[in-house]
Amino acid sequence: MSDDPAHLAVTDQIRAAGDHAERLLIASGRPAPVRTTPEQAPPWFRETRAVMLRAEEDGSLRYCGHLAAPQPTVVLAEEADRLVCWDCYTEAQALRSCHLCGGPAGTRSLYGGVEAVIRGPAAVYSRVLCQACAEPAGPRGTFGNGR
Ligand SMILES: [Zn+2]
Ligand SMILES: [Zn+2]
């Protein structure tokens, strides 16, 4: 971490992109993502973020191709080595697989799957579970009918 103005400007842009992501979530009829400290975050968030950071470090991190300037960026738990833009995130919803069993989670409908969304320091992190996995896993999501 440094205090130089360039770094701070980038941090501000990232924060603004996070605010934008939050507004988009709310505009799509969903609650704002949960904010949490790394210590309080559920394991899936820590694991997803670790995969993303590792990929960033070793240069294997991929991008969806629409990400240029800082903008709302999403990390999908099932593909944590790739950053996607908001449109790709939205389009992926119907086809996403359950993070536990790999089966279809069908989250186009809020009630099709159970999605948890956490706002990380830069990106928004999202995990979906199918109904079958969400029920025994308990209320670990942040919204959808599994809460
Ligand atoms: Zn994209
Ligand atoms: Zn499942």
Whether the CB-CB separation of 146 and 100 falls below 8 Å is answered with no
Judged by its nearest atom, the ligand closest to the C-alpha of residue 74 is 1
Give the whole-angstrom CA distance, residue 85 versus residue 88.
5
Ligand approaching nearest to the C-alpha of 146: 2
Q: Average pLDDT, stretch 4-23?
A: 70
Predicted local confidence at residue 1, as pLDDT: 42
Ligand 2 geometric centre to CA of 37 (Å) = 26
Joined together, the tokens standing for residue 45 give 């968030």
Q: How far is 85 from 101, CA to CA, in rounded Å?
A: 25
pTM comes to 0.70
- Average pLDDT of the chain is 78
Residue 65 CA to ligand 1 centre (angstroms):
6
pLDDT of residue 108: 52
Which ligand is closest to the CA of 82, given by its number?
1
